[in-house]
Amino acid sequence: MDKMYQDKVVMITGAASGFGAMAAQRFADEGAKLGLSDVNGEKLNEVAEELRAQGFEVVADVVNVADEAQVKAHVDNIAAAFGTIHVGINNAGIGHDVRPMHYLTTEDFDLMMDVNAKGVFLCMKYQIPLMQEHGQGAILNTASAAGLMGAGHLSLYAAAKHAVVGMTKAVADENAKRGIRVNALCPSFSATPMVEEMADIVGDRSGLSREDAYSHIASRVPMGRVSKPEEVVQAMLWINAPENSFMTGQAIAIDGGLSAV
């Protein structure tokens, strides 16, 4: 029996850790050929080599998603190896210091927009023509619950993620008749390196341990906990599945109810 992504080509950015690394394993387990990228070459190589050791086909490139030439070269490499891209998981992203906006800098703003918003734009810019050639494709942009609501002390991150949601809806509209679905995933706090770093910052400033800082962060979520990364990655598999063929232009919250209140 064929697996869910048998012989599909899946491109995942930010694949060296967190959601990206876990997604690479899960999509591979479901039969996908992988195009992986990250700015951290050492960790990316570890992920790619582990997958190759299991017999999976992987193209891996060190890519700064804010650099157009690097993104184009990566997409070209995937196309040269596998012929096309069926699924694009535009997952690479970064956070900023947890503090009110007036303490942040112009450099913080530029970095958030470059990586979190322009990076998604560039990936879609080069994924879509390949998908249009074959009349099919699915793109999932990792946004955030902060892209659906206000996020105090994370204002620039929220601004960039709102931009991701807006681009997602616009590009979904542009491509709905071309067989290409485009959605955004909006997780809240999850047990990933980014949230661990946030917990450390909160802990340092308040004198809390990481565990207590996690509890403080989790207290904002109606379900009373942060998510497990696998809960978010499972949503990635479902959203992009060929059987889920009528969903496009959506910003799907996986947030324990955070955006509902």
Report the predicted TM-score, pTM, of the whole model to 2 decimal places: 0.93
Q: Which domain holds residue 195?
A: 189-226
Same domain for 150 and 217 = no
Residue 142 in domain: yes
Q: What is the CATH number of the domain that holds 168?
A: 3.40.50.720
180 has a pLDDT exceeding 90: yes
What is the H or E stretch that residue 249 is in? none
Q: What is the mean pLDDT of residues 115-136?
A: 97
Residue 36 in domain: yes
Q: How do residues 108-124 score in pLDDT, each as one tens digit?
A: 999 999 999 999 999 99
Portion of the chain with pLDDT greater than 90, in percent? 78
63 has a pLDDT exceeding 80: yes
Same domain for 219 and 97 = no
Same domain for 193 and 163 = no
Same domain for 193 and 67 = no
The model's confidence at residue 204, banded by pLDDT at 50, 70 and 90, is low
Pair 186, 144: CB distance under 8 Å: yes
Measured between alpha carbons, how far apart are the two ends of the chain, in Å?
43
Model pLDDT, residue 167: 98
Distance CA 21, CA 35 (A): 12
Residue 113 in domain: yes
Same domain for 40 and 73 = yes
Q: How do residues 219-257 score in pLDDT, each as one tens digit?
A: 888 888 888 899 999 999 999 999 999 999 999 999 999
3 state DSSP class of 37: strand
Catalytic pick from 5, 126, 157, 214?
A: 157
Same domain for 194 and 89 = no
Residue 259 in domain: no
Q: What is the mean pLDDT of residues 130-155?
A: 94
Give the ranges where the chain is alpha helix by DSSP (H).
Answer: 18-29, 41-53, 68-82, 106-112, 119-134, 155-175, 193-206, 210-218, 229-240
Structural domain count of the chain: 2
Instruction: Kindly state the tokens that stand for 170.
Output: 């616009």
Portion of the chain with pLDDT greater than 70, in percent? 92
Q: How do residues 29-53 score in pLDDT, each as one tens digit?
A: 999 999 999 999 999 999 999 999 9
Same domain for 133 and 108 = yes
Which residue is it, tokens 């190759």? 52
Same domain for 240 and 144 = yes
Residue 28 in domain: yes
The model's confidence at residue 186, banded by pLDDT at 50, 70 and 90, is very high
Residue 261 in domain: no
Q: Is 214 a catalytic residue?
A: no
Model pLDDT, residue 3: 93
Same domain for 67 and 114 = yes
Same domain for 145 and 210 = no
Measured in whole angstroms, the distance separating CA 39 from the mean position of its chain's CA atoms is 14
Residue 2 in domain: no
Same domain for 208 and 174 = no
- What is 185-237 written as a DSSP string? EEE-SBSSHHHHHHHHHHHHHHT--HHHHHHHHHTTSTTSSPBPHHHHHHHHH
Same domain for 183 and 131 = yes
Q: What is the mean pLDDT of residues 198-211?
A: 67
198 has a pLDDT exceeding 90: no
